[in-house]
Amino acid sequence: MIIQPKTRGFICITSHPEGCAKNVQNQIDYIKSKSPIDGAKNVLVIGASTGFGLASRITSAFGENASTIGVFFEKPPAEGRTASSGWYNTAAFEEQAHKAGLYAKSINGDAFSNEIKEQTAQLIKKDLGKIDLVIYSLASPVRTHPETGVRYKSTLKPIGNTYTNKTVDFHTGEVKEISIEACTEEDIVNTVTVMGGEDWQMWIDKLKKEGLLADNFKTVAYSYIGPKLTEPVYRKGTIGKAKDHLEATAFTITDALKDIKGKAFVSVNKALVTQSSSAIPVIPLYISLLYKVMKEKNLQEGCIEQIYRLFKERLYLGEIPVDSEGRIRIDDLEMRDDIQEKVAQLWEEATTESLPEIGDLEGYKDEFFNLFGFNFDGIDYEKDTNEMVSIPGLQ
């Protein structure tokens, strides 16, 4: 079929298999252009199909020659309907990994469930024996608790007071004010249940109980802090409470891994255009200003540059550098004073009229459509393409 972008609200409901393959290939090429990493040999990535998780899988495979198992929740294609982009990303990743002689298998299903944890444990046992690294990169608006069957929904709300600030609809370029009402107590509990550390811990507990974790095992989950500007809706909002919980869970997990000298870390990553961040109010305006400033200073990084740096310059150094809270920081460039001062100044000036000049709205849009395989040079989007792509190592 001929596949064009079709947006609904903030998401794109179609994706292009060749474009997704190009996106993956670009990331593989980047990793191959860098010096190899002496790191893990067997890696499990939970949330492996898009964003930071996909970049983690690519870095593991093509940067460290690791065998990888990827877990994700993606929609397969149907006749006349495209798959979700993470499906096509994974198909392309596995094809390249297999060509390079690398082990790569995938599991598509709800990572929060006991069934998917069990299936993953069995696959590790059968094929890899033990794993040395688990990357936890889930971003989900809902979680069905495996013990109670209760379905929790996360929210992106401020705590205490209504928050009013500017935002941009990046599809139209309109900058306008939005107000987000303060959350309830229940919103906090729900958001922590979905995006906090409980499920991460359940994964590690399960894998440890099955004897699948190698000595010196490491696990890393991803977090975000960001600037003062977005604090009420991000770090001091409901999602921030979940990130606090995730960060605290790193210590709990480390304690439980003492006998195998295992360690759990949270890595604080940079703000980037992903399917998840596009859905957060205010953040797209911040990102479009941030990108402009970081590109001007030649400091811009995407997911793959971030994760390469995480592995090469943090995770596999003898002593892992962390901040006063024990967190790995790869948001160091974003958080630099000169960058943040400039973004704060541009924030004041941002209007529908000025944003195309002072912000990187085009860059934002371009990256957004890239997530779904669109806007890539060298791909003919008028041409018929086969949507029925399968993932070679899907279990």
CA distances from 124 to 63, 70, 95, 199 (A): 21, 11, 20, 19
Nearer to Na ion, 137 or 191 (CB): 137
Q: Are 68 and 59 in contact (CB under 8 A)?
A: no
Binding-site partner at residue 72 among ligand NAD, Na ion, none, CB < 5 to 8 Å by type: ligand NAD
23 is a site residue for ligand NAD (CB under 6 A): no
Cα–Cα nearest to 126, from 61, 67, 56: 67
| Residue ranges in the chain assigned as alpha helix (H) | 17-32, 51-64, 85-99, 114-123, 185-195, 198-209, 238-256, 283-296, 303-310, 337-349, 355-358, 361-371
Q: Tell me which residues in 51-70 interact with Na ion (CB under 5 A).
A: 51-53
Q: Tokens 């859905």 correspond to what residue?
A: 279
Binding ligand NAD (rule: CB under 6 A), the pick from 60, 68, 201, 276 is: 276
> Given the rule CB under 5 A, which of 46-54, 57-65, 160-168, 252-260 is the region that contacts Na ion?
46-54
Long-range contacts of 290-298 (CB under 8 A, 24+ apart): 290/334, 290/339, 290/343, 291/359, 291/360, 291/363, 291/364, 292/346, 292/358, 292/359, 292/360, 292/363, 293/339, 293/342, 293/343, 293/346, 294/333, 294/334, 294/339, 295/360, 295/363, 297/338, 297/339
Binding-site partner at residue 276 among Na ion, ligand NAD, none, CB < 5 to 8 Å by type: ligand NAD
200 is a site residue for Na ion (CB under 5 A): no
Q: Find out whether 226 is annotated in a ligand binding site.
A: no
> Given the rule CB under 5 A, which of 40-48, 86-94, 192-200, 336-344 is the region that contacts Na ion?
40-48
14 is a site residue for ligand NAD (CB under 6 A): no
> Given the rule CB under 6 A, which of 66-74, 151-159, 257-265, 315-323 is the region that contacts ligand NAD?
66-74
Catalytic (active-site) positions: 234
53 is a site residue for ligand NAD (CB under 6 A): yes
Binding-site partner at residue 110 among ligand NAD, Na ion, none, CB < 5 to 8 Å by type: ligand NAD
275 is a site residue for ligand NAD (CB under 6 A): yes
Binding ligand NAD (rule: CB under 6 A), the pick from 19, 39, 51, 262 is: 51
Whole-number Å distance between alpha carbons of 232 and 162: 9
Q: Using CB atoms within 10 Å of the CB of residue 197, give its burial: 0 to 12 exposed, 13 to 18 middle, 19+ buried.
A: buried
| Residue ranges in 196-237 assigned as alpha helix (H) | 198-209
Whole-number Å distance between alpha carbons of 8 and 282: 19
Binding ligand NAD (rule: CB under 6 A), the pick from 87, 88, 93, 112 is: 112
Q: Find out whether 73 is annotated in a ligand binding site.
A: yes
Residues lying near ligand NAD in the complex (CB under 6 A) are found at 47-53, 71-74, 86, 110-112, 137-140, 222-224, 269, 271-272, 274-277
Q: Which residues are annotated as a binding site for substrate?
A: 224
Residues lying near Na ion in the complex (CB under 5 A) are found at 47, 51-53, 137
Q: Which residues are annotated as a binding site for NAD(+)?
A: 47-52, 73-74, 110-111, 138-139, 243, 272-274
Q: Which residues are annotated as a binding site?
A: 47-52, 73-74, 110-111, 138-139, 224, 243, 272-274
